[in-house]
C-alpha cells in the first residue's frame, strides 16, 4: 500500500507542476488569505489564530510573502484548466500507473511466498529425517525387547529342567574323573565308528584305529592255539630323506615328543619305500607315510597291500595285527593347482597332481575297508608347506589349523611334529579328515591341551564358519547364562525363515529345520551348546543324474532292441535314504566364558555332493544376523 500511495503522490506532483490538474474555485472552502507586510509583524486580514510570540522576528515572512495581496485561489484555478484530450491522457496514465503498482505488489508477494514455502520444505525434510531416525531406533528397541521377552519366557518355562540337566552332567563328570566312567565310546563316534581310548592317568591317549580293539579278540580267536595278539605301541614310518630334506628335522622332533607322551616306550620303525618292509607292518598301530617319498598312486597301493596284510602266528609266536591308522603327510596346494603359486610348482613335473592322487588313494582304500568285512582303517591327511630350518625364538605359538587345503605358508619342524603327534595320538576329529597347518612353535613353549582341542575341533563336520560373539554373563554363580540363552533363542528364531516355502531366502534347494542333537562337550571346551540343523532335501534334478557307467548301460539296453526279457513283476528295491548334506548352526559358550557361533556341515557321507551355493546363502544370512545381534547388545549394554 505504501508503494501505491507513493506512486499517486509523485503523479499528482508532476501534474501540478505542469498545470494539468485543476479544481473549480467553488469547490474550495478555504478562506481568502491576504497578506500585508508591516514593519513589526505580518497581519492577516482573515486569520484563524494569532501568534502569542511578541518577540518573533518577521524577517522570514518578509522574504517569503509579497508586499501585495495575493488571491491564490484565482491563480490556482487559472492554472488548473485542461482540455478533453489532456483529460483522457491523464486518465490513461493514471490507470497505467495503478496497474503497474498492483502488478509489482503481487510479484513481491509471490516472491515472499516462494521463499516461505522453500523454508518450510527444508524444515519439513529435516523433521522427516529426524523422525525416520527415531523410528529406526524405536523399531530396534522393540526388536530387542521382543527377544528379551521370548528369552525370559523360554528360560522361565525350562529353568527347572535345565538345572536338573546341569546337576546330572556335573554328577556324570565327577564319575568320569573318579575312574568310574565307561571305556567304550569315550571319544564318541567318528565317521560312524566308536573310538577307543588307551590307559592313562592324566588325559586320554588314542593310538590305532577306531573299532580295531574290538576286532583284536576275533583275530586272536582265529589264530591256532589261541595265541595272544601283539599289542605293543609301535609306529611304522615310511620316508625318504634324500627326496625331502625337511623329513629329518620333523622326525627328530617327533621321536622326542612320542617318548614323552606315552608312559610305555614307543618303538619307531623307519623304512624307505624301496626297502624290505615287514609284512603286516610289524604289527604297528600307526603307519606314518611321507607322500614325498612315493612316486605315484600305484606306489602307495603296492605299499599298503603289503603293510595291511594280517600275519598268522609263526613258530608258536603271537598273531600279528596290521596298522589300523594311516597318516599321510602331503603338501599344500594339491587342491589348488589352478592358482598361484601352486600352478607354477605343478607346471613341469606335475608334482602336486601326483600327491593329490596319493591322497585320493588312501581315502578310497579306507572307505573300501569300512564297507567290507576287513579290519577297519582310519586315515588322516596332513598338509604342510615348506618345512623351515627352525621354529624361531618367539615366546608363543602361532600354529594355525584348517580343514581341507586353504592355508599358505611354511611351518617349523617342532610345530609340524606337534601337529602330527596330536593327529596320531590325541585328536579323534583328525580321524578320516584332511587338514592343513602352518606356523611355528619355538622350543620350550608348551601348548595347553584345551588349546589343541580347540584347534582341531574345526575338523568336525568340517567347520565352515566361526563368529565370535563376545563374553557371556559375568555372574559365575548363575547356572544359566542369560546372554547365551538369548543368542540361542535368536538363532532359532532366525532359522524359521527357512521353513515352509522359503520365499525371500535365496535358497533353491528345499530344506528341513531341526534342532541340533549335539550337546556340550568338555573335550571341545564347550560348557553350553544349542543350535539348529538346516537339512537339504532330495530334488528331482539330483535323482535324474546318472554317472557315465549308468549312461552306457542304458544306451546298451536301448541298442539291444528290447531283446532283454523284463520281469512283469519286478522286485522292489528298498534302499536307505540318501544323505543330501546340510548346515548345523551351533551357539556355544566356551570354558573361558566367551560366546561364539559355529557353522559346520552335517548329514553327509562320502557320497554326498556338497551344495556350496546353498551353503553360501545360509552363511551370508547368518553373518548378518549375528552381526546385528552383537551390535544391538553393544547399544543396549547387555
Fold match between domain 191-460 and domain 462-540+577-638 = no
Do 196 and 231 touch, CB atoms closer than 8 A? no
Element (H, E) at 254: helix 246-261
Residue 30's region, left for phi above 0, alpha for psi from -120 to 50, else beta, is beta
**Three-state helix/strand/coil letters over 597-631:** EEEEECCCCCCCCCCHHHHHHHHHHHHHHHHHHHH
Rounded to whole angstroms, the Cα distance separating 143 from 136 reads 11
Indicate the pLDDT class of residue 410, thresholds 50, 70 and 90. Answer: very high
Rounded to whole angstroms, the Cα distance separating 531 from 520 reads 11
The DSSP code for 339 is S
Q: How many CB atoms lie within 10 A of CB 442?
A: 17
Map grid coordinates 549312461 to a residue: 551
Architecture per CATH, domain 462-540+577-638, reads as 2-Layer Sandwich (3.30)
Residue 201 is placed in which grid cell?
Answer: 592317568
Rounded to whole angstroms, the Cα distance separating 590 from 317 reads 50
Q: At what angle do helices 246-261 and 413-421 cross, to 10 degrees?
A: 50
Classify domain 191-460 at the CATH superfamily level: NAD(P)-binding Rossmann-like Domain (3.40.50.720)
Indicate the pLDDT class of residue 419, thresholds 50, 70 and 90. Answer: very high
pTM: 0.63
Predicted confidence at residue 86, as pLDDT, reads: 77
Q: Which parts of 52-203 are beta strand (E)? A: 184-190, 193-196
Indicate the pLDDT class of residue 235, thresholds 50, 70 and 90. Answer: very high
Domain residue limits, the chain = 2-48+55-100, 191-460, 462-540+577-638
Predicted confidence at residue 231, as pLDDT, reads: 55
- pLDDT (tens digit per residue) in 120-179: 888 888 888 888 788 777 777 777 777 877 777 777 777 766 666 666 565 555 544 444
Predicted confidence at residue 41, as pLDDT, reads: 42
pLDDT at 566 over 70: no
Amino acid at each position: 500500500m505504501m508503494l501505491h500511495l507513493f506512486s499517486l503522490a509523485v503523479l499528482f506532483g508532476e501534474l501540478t507542476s505542469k498545470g494539468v490538474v485543476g479544481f473549480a474555485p467553488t469547490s474550495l472552502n478555504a478562506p481568502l488569505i491576504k497578506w500585508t507586510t508591516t514593519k513589526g509583524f505580518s497581519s492577516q486580514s482573515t486569520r484563524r489564530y494569532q501568534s502569542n510570540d511578541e518577540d518573533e522576528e518577521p524577517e522570514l515572512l518578509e522574504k517569503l510573502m509579497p508586499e501585495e495581496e495575493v488571491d491564490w485561489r484565482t491563480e490556482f484555478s487559472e492554472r488548473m484548466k485542461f482540455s478533453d484530450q489532456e483529460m483522457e491522457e491523464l486518465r490513461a496514465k493514471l490507470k497505467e500507473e495503478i496497474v503497474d503498482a498492483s502488478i509489482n505488489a503481487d510479484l513481491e508477494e509471490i516472491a515472499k511466498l516462494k521463499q516461505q514455502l522453500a523454508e518450510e520444505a527444508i524444515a519439513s525434510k529435516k523433521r522427516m529425517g529426524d523422525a525416520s531416525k527415531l523410528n529406526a531406533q524405536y523399531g530396534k528397541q522393540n526388536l530387542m525387547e521382543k527377544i528379551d521377552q521370548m528369552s525370559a519366557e523360554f528360560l522361565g518355562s525350562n529353568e527347572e529342567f535345565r538345572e536338573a540337566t546341569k546337576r546330572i552332567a556335573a554328577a556324570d563328570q565327577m564319575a568320569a574323573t573318579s575312574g568310574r566312567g565307561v571305556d567304550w565310546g569315550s571319544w564318541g563316534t567318528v565317521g560312524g565308528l566308536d573310538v577307543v581310548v588307551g590307559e592313562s592317568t592324566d588325559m586320554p591317549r588314542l593310538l590305532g584305529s577306531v573299532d580295531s580293539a574290538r576286532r583284536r579278540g576275533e583275530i586272536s580267536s582265529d589264530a591256532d592255539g589261541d595265541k595272544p595278539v601283539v599289542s605293543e605301541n609301535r609306529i611304522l614310518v615310511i620316508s625318504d630323506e634324500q627326496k625331502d630334506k625337511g623329513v629329518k628335522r620333523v622326525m627328530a622332533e617327533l621321536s622326542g615328543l612320542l617318548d614323552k607322551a606315552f608312559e610305555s616306550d614307543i618303538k619307531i620303525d623307519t623304512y624307505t619305500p624301496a626297502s624290505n618292509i615287514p609284512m603286516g607292518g610289524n604289527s604297528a598301530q600307526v603307519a606314518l607315510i611321507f607322500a614325498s617319498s612315493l612316486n605315484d598312486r600305484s606306489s602307495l597301493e603296492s605299499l599298503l597291500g603289503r603293510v595291511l596284510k594280517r600275519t598268522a602266528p609263526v613258530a608258536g609266536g603271537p598273531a600279528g595285527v596290521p596298522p589300523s591308522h594311516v597318516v599321510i603327510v602331503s603338501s599344500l596346494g594339491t587342491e589348488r593347482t589352478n592358482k598361484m603359486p601352486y600352478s607354477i610348482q605343478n607346471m613341469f613335473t606335475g608334482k602336486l597332481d601326483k600327491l593329490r592322487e596319493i591322497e585320493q588313494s588312501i581315502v578310497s582304500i579306507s572307505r573300501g575297508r569300512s564297507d567290507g568285512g576287513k579290519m577297519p582303517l582310519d586315515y588322516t591327511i596332513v598338509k604342510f608347506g615348506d618345512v623351515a630350518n627352525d621354529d624361531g625364538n618367539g615366546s608363543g605359538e602361532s600354529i594355525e589349523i584348517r580343514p581341507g587345503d586353504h592355508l599358505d605358508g611354511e611351518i617349523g619342524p617342532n610345530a609340524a611334529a606337534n601337529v602330527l603327534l596330536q593327529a596320531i595320538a590325541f585328536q579323534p576329529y583328525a580321524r578320516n579328515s584332511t587338514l592343513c597347518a602352518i606356523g611355528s612353535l619355538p622350543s620350550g613353549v608348551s601348548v595347553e591341551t584345551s588349546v589343541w582341542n580347540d584347534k582341531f575341533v574345526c575338523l568336525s563336520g568340517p567347520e565352515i564358519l566361526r563368529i565370535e560373539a563376545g563374553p557371556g554373563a559375568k555372574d559365575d554363580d548363575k547356572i544359566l547364562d542369560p546372554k547365551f540363552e538369548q543368542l540361542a533363542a535368536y538363532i532359532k528364531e532366525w532359522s524359521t525363515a527357512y521353513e515352509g516355502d522359503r520365499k525371500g531366502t535365496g535358497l533353491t534347494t528345499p530344506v528341513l529345520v531341526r534342532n541340533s542333537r549335539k550337546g556340550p562337550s568338555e573335550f571341545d571346551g564347550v560348557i553350553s551348546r544349542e543350535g539348529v540343523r538346516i537339512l537339504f532335501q532330495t530334488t528331482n534334478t539330483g535323482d535324474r543324474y546318472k554317472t557315465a557307467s549308468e549312461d552306457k548301460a542304458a544306451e546298451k539296453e536301448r541298442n539291444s532292441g528290447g531283446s532283454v526279457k523284463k520281469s512283469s513283476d519286478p522286485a522292489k528295491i528298498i534302499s536307505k535314504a540318501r544323505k543330501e548334506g546340510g548346515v548345523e548352526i551351533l551357539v556355544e559358550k566356551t570354558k573361558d566364558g566367551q560366546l561364539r557361533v559355529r557353522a559346520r556341515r552335517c548329514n553327509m557321507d562320502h557320497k554326498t555332493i556338497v551344495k556350496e551355493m546353498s551353503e553360501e546363502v545360509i552363511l551370508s544370512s547368518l553373518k548378518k544376523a549375528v552381526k546385528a545381534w552383537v551390535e544391538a547388545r553393544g547399544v543396549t549394554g547387555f
